[in-house]
């Protein structure tokens, strides 16, 4: 078994490297369109294409659910993960209008005008469901094969997981509250919005994004050694309850998770052989291998790397711990990590830097839409590691490591070569208005 796996890894590496060499001379050319674009029809593919839609993207980025339709992105996805749902201090899934904790206004209370409405008709004051939730429901009606998942936690909202799953009773209560709120759609009343069943049928499953059981996450996030066993029990409880509800509804609800790249974090919190049986698939962290807070520039999402994190390393670490390849969905970034004050010359990679690079929304973190403008400006040079399968921009002072259409086509070849589950995107609001990266990834997986 191990020999066959290594052979498949070698084949995937050869295919990916060959594809980079083929595509590299045409780096400046935009990707070709593939499949339908906004017609309501979805192209067939056996590979999952999962995209995270951020709740807060409707504000600063003005990225609306309708943009998934007009860009053609919705036609090229199999799943949308809605980021994020939160867990309260008393161990329940909840929503409301609490700064930094929940945003029911964005979720289901905000009225959408005709211009931003999937069906072209403005929301009324009387309807029970508005906001992102109603738009996602309308998107599903237009693209019947599209699944929408509620993603629980994330980097900032994983703080209460550990405290909420310490006993069987607590786990049952937590899961029951998530099923009630998100799958049954029983939303808190917010003016005319919400109420029992207001969002029923919207979500097709639950994505557990606890960062991270058994090891440190965001500041203030509780973790403890027993998280590993409690996470295993929590996932079993989710599987039990969503399957039971699914039998009532004559529907299959899916259960997925976002899982880490670092071997130490995998071993601290994930009993892979046990949990993988309960998941339909897991989304692997395929980025942030290095971040702009570090003192030296480095790749953040290389396909292959010697003595460093890489997509290949993450995939192999999960497979050798017992995860079947078909349940592994590779995460890809639609953003870059950047440094400024880079010294040492050369192509800028592996050199000291003075700090995170200036950016539109957050220092050191830039959307692909903005990085494409830099690449097209002529000020920055695009560099590629043909063997490593990654790219970066450098102007002699500032460096951005990112995935462009060529890198994504290479990763798609790798996914197909290993017969993995597909690709996951963080996050959809960072793509170009015409969905350039989604088009390239979808074409590569078709």
What pLDDT, on a 0 to 100 scale, did the predictor assign at position 86? Answer: 98
CA distances in angstroms from 293 to 23, 364, 366, listed in the order given: 32, 8, 14
What would the mean pLDDT of 217-223 be, rounded to a whole number? 97
What is the spatial distance between Cα 360 and Cα 358, in angstroms, rounded to a whole number?
7
What is the spatial distance between Cα 301 and Cα 445, in angstroms, rounded to a whole number?
19
Categorize the per-residue pLDDT at 36 as very low, low, confident or very high, splitting at 50, 70 and 90: very low
What pLDDT, on a 0 to 100 scale, did the predictor assign at position 411? Answer: 98
Categorize the per-residue pLDDT at 7 as very low, low, confident or very high, splitting at 50, 70 and 90: low
* pLDDT single digits (tens) 379-405: 999 999 999 999 999 999 999 999 999
Categorize the per-residue pLDDT at 116 as very low, low, confident or very high, splitting at 50, 70 and 90: very high
What pLDDT, on a 0 to 100 scale, did the predictor assign at position 19? Answer: 52
Categorize the per-residue pLDDT at 14 as very low, low, confident or very high, splitting at 50, 70 and 90: low
What is the spatial distance between Cα 302 and Cα 309, in angstroms, rounded to a whole number?
8
Question: 30: left (phi > 0), else alpha (psi -120 to 50), else beta?
Answer: beta
Dump strand ranges (E) for 220-364.
254-259, 281-284, 328-333, 335-340, 355-356
What pLDDT, on a 0 to 100 scale, did the predictor assign at position 18? Answer: 56
* pLDDT single digits (tens) 240-265: 999 999 999 999 999 999 999 999 99
Burial of 427 (0-12, 13-18, 19+ CB in 10 A): buried
Name the catalytic one among 138, 211, 369, 436: 211
> Where are the domains positioned within the chain?
2-336+406-445
Q: Note the CATH number of domain 2-336+406-445.
A: 3.20.20.80
What pLDDT, on a 0 to 100 scale, did the predictor assign at position 271? Answer: 98
Say yes or no to pLDDT of 15 above 70.
Answer: no
Q: Is pLDDT larger for residue 43 or for residue 169?
A: 169
What is the spatial distance between Cα 362 and Cα 383, in angstroms, rounded to a whole number?
24
What pLDDT, on a 0 to 100 scale, did the predictor assign at position 187? Answer: 98
CA angle 259–73–370, rounded 5-degree value? 80
Categorize the per-residue pLDDT at 314 as very low, low, confident or very high, splitting at 50, 70 and 90: very high
What pLDDT, on a 0 to 100 scale, did the predictor assign at position 10? Answer: 53
* pLDDT single digits (tens) 18-27: 554 454 433 3
Cβ-count burial 183-219 (b if 16+ within 10 Å, e if not): bbbbbbebeebbeeebbeebbbbbbbbbbbbbbebee
Beta bridge partners of 97: 103
* pLDDT single digits (tens) 173-199: 999 999 999 999 999 999 999 999 999
Known catalytic residue: 369?
A: no
What pLDDT, on a 0 to 100 scale, did the predictor assign at position 26? Answer: 37
What pLDDT, on a 0 to 100 scale, did the predictor assign at position 23? Answer: 47
What pLDDT, on a 0 to 100 scale, did the predictor assign at position 35? Answer: 34
CA angle 175–180–182, rounded 5-degree value? 90
What pLDDT, on a 0 to 100 scale, did the predictor assign at position 264? Answer: 98
What would the mean pLDDT of 423-436 be, rounded to a whole number? 98
What would the mean pLDDT of 289-299 be, rounded to a whole number? 98
What pLDDT, on a 0 to 100 scale, did the predictor assign at position 31? Answer: 28
């Amino acid at each position: 078994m191990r020999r066959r796996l290594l052979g498949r890894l070698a084949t995937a590496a050869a295919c990916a490297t060959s594809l980079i060499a083929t595509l590299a001379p045409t780096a400046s050319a935009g990707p070709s369109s593939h499949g339908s674009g906004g017609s309501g029809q979805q192209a067939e593919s056996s590979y999952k294409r999962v995209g995270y839609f951020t709740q807060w993207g409707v504000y600063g980025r003005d990225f609306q659910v309708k943009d998934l339709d007009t860009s053609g992105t919705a036609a090229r996805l199999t799943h949308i993960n809605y980021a994020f749902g939160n867990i309260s201090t008393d161990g329940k899934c909840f929503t409301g209008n609490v700064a930094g904790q929940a945003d029911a206004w964005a979720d289901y209370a905000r009225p959408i005008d005709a211009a931003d409405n999937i069906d072209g008709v403005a929301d009324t004051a009387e309807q029970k469901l508005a906001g992102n939730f109603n738009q996602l429901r309308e998107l599903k009606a237009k693209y019947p094969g599209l699944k929408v998942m509620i993603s629980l936690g994330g980097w900032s909202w994983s703080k209460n997981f550990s405290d909420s799953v310490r006993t069987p009773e607590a786990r049952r209560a937590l899961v029951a509250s998530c099923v009630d709120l998100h799958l049954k759609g029983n939303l808190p009343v917010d003016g005319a919005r919400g109420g029992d069943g207001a969002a029923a049928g919207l979500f097709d499953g639950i994505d557990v994004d606890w960062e991270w059981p058994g090891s440190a996450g965001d500041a203030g996030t509780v973790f403890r050694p027993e998280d590993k066993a409690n996470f295993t029990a929590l996932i079993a409880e989710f599987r039990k309850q969503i399957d039971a509800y699914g039998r009532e509804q004559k529907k299959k609800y899916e259960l997925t998770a976002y899982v880490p790249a670092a071997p130490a974090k995998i071993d601290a919190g994930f009993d892979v052989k046990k949990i993988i049986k309960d998941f339909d698939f897991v989304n692997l962290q395929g980025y942030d291998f290095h971040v702009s807070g570090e003192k030296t520039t480095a790749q953040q999402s290389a396909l292959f790397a010697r003595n460093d994190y890489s997509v290949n390393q993450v995939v192999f670490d999960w497979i050798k711990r017992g995860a079947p390849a078909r349940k592994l969905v590779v995460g890809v970034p639609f953003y870059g990590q950047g440094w400024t004050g880079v010294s040492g010359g050369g192509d800028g990679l592996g050199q000291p830097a003075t700090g995170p690079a200036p950016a539109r929304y957050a220092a050191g973190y830039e959307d692909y839409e903005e990085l494409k403008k830099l690449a097209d400006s002529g000020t920055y040079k695009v560099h590629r590691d043909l063997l490593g399968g990654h790219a970066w921009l450098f102007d002699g002072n500032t460096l951005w490591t990112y995935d462009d259409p060529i890198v994504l086509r290479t990763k798609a070849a790798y996914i197909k070569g290993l017969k993995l589950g597909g690709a996951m995107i963080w996050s959809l609001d960072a793509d170009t208005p015409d969905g350039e990266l989604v088009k390239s990834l979808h074409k590569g997986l078709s």
